[in-house]
Structure 1
Amino acid sequence: MTMINRIDRAIDMTGRIVKGIAAEHMSAPTPCREWDLRELLNHLVGGMNIFAAQLQGLTPVRDHHDDWLGTDPQGAYAEAAELDRAAWHRPDALERPVRLGFGEVPGPMAAVIHLTELVVHGVDLAVAIGQEGLVDDRLCAEMLTIMHEMGLESFRVPGMFGPEVEVPADAPAHRRMLAYVGRA
């Protein structure tokens, strides 16, 4: 399975979850304690738009923390998903460096970082709205393997990942993944 295929699966999984978000969910807490559901979804949609622009050699039209959702969060996600998917499917997508908040990274590393954002935050959204049944646990298991191989210790800082939380070894993959990044 290629990284681009995994990104596609993550976009699809999160899209199914986003379709289930109702207006009353927007202020719900999420496993990502810094953000309520609207803030988390806005962060995710903003990131997708920014990655899409960067992969095309363009300057993003807004800052990551601007309002990307407007009055139609599902529509904003769908539009971002289309742009994001198209950008990652460009023949040179993995050859182009991507500028992130902490500096420029090679395309393959940007793909791993983006996949992490999509999968972890997609699961955060599913947990927040009580729709864990929509989570792609196989993808979460693959993501957890990638995270273990990379090592996240240098990313265990406030605002990124917290200390690993203990969960039963037989917990579903998405719960083990959330525990690994410091969410309960």
Structure 2
Amino acid sequence: MTSNADAAIAALRAGYDHLAPIVRGLSEEDLAGPSGAAEWDVSQVLSHLGSGAEIHLATLEAALAGEPNKGLEFNKTVWARWDGSTRAERAAGFLEINETLLRRYEDLDPATRKELRVDMGFLPAPVDVATAASLRLSEFAFHSWDVRVAADPAAELHPDAVPLLLGLTGGMFAWLTNPAVLEGREAGLRVELTGPDRVLGLNLAEPVKLGDVPGEPDGVLRLPAEAWLRLVVGRLAPQYTPAEASTDGAADLDLLRRVFKGF
């Protein structure tokens, strides 16, 4: 039986194997060009993914050795080194360290995948391998899209990541949303997803949150699940919105784009 840890690790591998040949083909001009992350060029996204992989690997190794998390000061030295790298060094470094992290995860035996607890350094308690790998998957999937969309405006999140990420989105609303833009307005929306098929209830209020699907919604939002995830993290600008996305009533995409400020 495939565990949640197995699924997250497999999705990380699939996403990386999709992204790696694209990164290898990037020119200096490509690396300097804009990415899907508003404030970063493509090389800066790869720097973020690479430094994140290095920190995540150190975190995993510490857990395996029974040692404490290396802490913020260690992280700062990693970020500074990557920030000081050339664009080409960022791309090459990302490919190397992310492969190393993946192989470390893939080498974990079933018992370790089930029993190990990992101190992430920013959570109140250590988490299991499934959670640790899923957190990396969330970071990787969205920033991988940031890289790929630079050359392909129709790029989508990797399909292996989508079902796993759907279970994480609700927990991120507190820091991904800006309910102030609602200016006191409230609405209960029905959100209909495809690929995989899901129906969600979205409460537009203070705070914005997922809830029961309203029997008589104020509006309906219909879109692919991967596009919903990109909306939640602020990556569904009009030029990146699939043609099949549709809305009724209070489910106004322009408003939702402002509510979900993303990162």
Q: Same fold (TM over 0.5)?
A: yes
TM range (shorter): 0.7 to 0.9
Among 52, 62, 67, the alignment partner of 2:57 is: 52
- How far residue 31 of structure 1 moved from its aligned partner, in angstroms, is 2.2
Contact 1:140/1:177 (CA < 8 Å) preserved in 2?
no
- Alignment match, 1:178: 230
Query: Residue 31 and residue 65 in structure 1: after superposition, are their counterparts in 2 closer, same or farther (change >3 A)?
Result: farther
3-state SS, counterpart of residue 120 of structure 2? strand
In structure 1, stretches of 5+ residues that fail to align are none
4+ runs of 1 displaced by more than 6 Å?
none
- Alignment match, 1:85: 102
Contact 2:46/2:91 (CA < 8 Å) preserved in 1?
no
Contact 2:50/2:93 (CA < 8 Å) preserved in 1?
yes
Contact 2:50/2:97 (CA < 8 Å) preserved in 1?
yes
- Superimposed CA distance per residue, residues 96-147 of structure 1 (whole angstroms, 9 cap, x where no aligned partner): 31334566641332211100011111011101232756x5642243244233
- Alignment match, 1:64: 79
1:129 to 2:181 alignment: no
Task: Kindly report which structure 2 residues correspond to 1:86-165, keeping only aligned pairs within 5 A, or say none.
Answer: 86-89=103-106, 90-91=108-109, 92=112, 95-101=116-122, 105-107=126-128, 108-130=130-152, 132=154, 137-148=158-169, 150-156=170-176
Between the aligned partners of 1:50 and 1:152, the Cα distance in structure 2 is 21
In terms of fraction of residues, the more strand-rich structure is 2
Between the aligned partners of 1:99 and 1:145, the Cα distance in structure 2 is 21
Between the aligned partners of 2:80 and 2:227, the Cα distance in structure 1 is 27
- Alignment match, 1:169: 222
- How far residue 52 of structure 1 moved from its aligned partner, in angstroms, is 1.3
Instruction: Report which stretch shifted further, 3-12 or 89-98.
Output: 89-98
- Alignment match, 1:75: 92
Contact 1:14/1:118 (CA < 8 Å) preserved in 2?
no
Between the aligned partners of 2:38 and 2:101, the Cα distance in structure 1 is 26
Between the aligned partners of 1:79 and 1:104, the Cα distance in structure 2 is 30
Instruction: Report which stretch shifted further, 124-133 or 42-51.
Output: 124-133
Query: Residue 23 and residue 174 in structure 1: after superposition, are their counterparts in 2 closer, same or farther (change >3 A)?
Result: farther
- Alignment match, 1:16: 21
Q: TM-score, with normalisation over the residues of structure 1? A: 0.75
- How far residue 157 of structure 1 moved from its aligned partner, in angstroms, is 6.4
- Alignment match, 2:213: none
In structure 2, stretches of 5+ residues that fail to align are 179-207, 209-220, 238-263
Higher relative contact order structure (alpha carbons within 8 Å, sequence separation ≥ 6):
1
Code of the residue aligned with 1:145 in structure 2: it is: L
Contact 1:49/1:84 (CA < 8 Å) preserved in 2?
yes
3-state SS, counterpart of residue 166 of structure 2? helix
